[in-house]
Structure 1
Amino acid sequence: MAAKRSASAASAKPIHDGADLNAEQALALVGMGLMQKMAASGELPWMWNEAEDGGNCDVAALRQRLELTQLALQTGAPLSTAEVTYLMGARPGSAEVERGGLRARRVSRNVWKLSEARGSERRGEVAQFSSFNDGRRRFA
């Protein structure tokens, strides 16, 4: 019995305490564990279908957009509303908006500054979404 107790006590110790993991890494580990459990139980993940997710991805345009975003963050150059719309993926509807870890602040009419939203500066998801909502419904 003593051997069994020591084995269970050893297996109960956490392998990694997770103190140095950020939220994205922790979520990735949870997802990886879920996929491993599904594969072990015989369930296969769905087959990816391009028609389901809207088709092909323009990787060159995505890379260009990411590089331009990084350049705007590094230089702190003023941007137009059209440029902020392109980089953030949605037209800003208020003087200060946050989306995808980026924060755009209106300096004056059609002049914006882009910065990175970090840690405690980030707002809740509802506030991020509502800052792009101008109250108009766009249904065809």
Structure 2
Amino acid sequence: MSRWRTRTAEPAGVPATVTWGLLGAWLVHDAEELVMIPGWSSRARPRLERNLPWVPGRVWDGLDVSPRRNATAIALMGVLMAAASADGARTGGRSGFYQAALVGFGLHSATHVAQSAVTRGYTPGVATAPLV
């Protein structure tokens, strides 16, 4: 038996530019949300109530988000997405944290498309969701 062992190389994973692409895609998408969410519900409420008459009024009331609350939520998610992208870059994309964030972002984007289909119109985030 030989004293020297040969090491099998681990797969290289994905380049850091790919994992940082998650943060870039998130930035593009959330820039739309930052601009469009405040005030959207009050503008869309008549259409939503007409298209979805079974939804209680308190649900529509809960959709009104102040610009400050919207920006705070987006900033907190930005920290999370930056951390996930960094962890993905560190591990060649093999990090569970990065992979969960990637899947979560994809599912989040799908919900924008579904919301627009159900409400039969624009919902904040749907313009960039299919692109990113």
Higher strand proportion: 1
TM-score range, shorter chain: under 0.3
Greater Rg, structure 1 or structure 2? 1
Q: Relative contact order: is structure 1 or structure 2 higher (C-alpha 8 Å, sep ≥ 6)?
A: 2
Q: TM-score w.r.t. structure 2 length?
A: 0.25
Q: TM-score w.r.t. structure 1 length?
A: 0.24
Higher helix proportion: 2
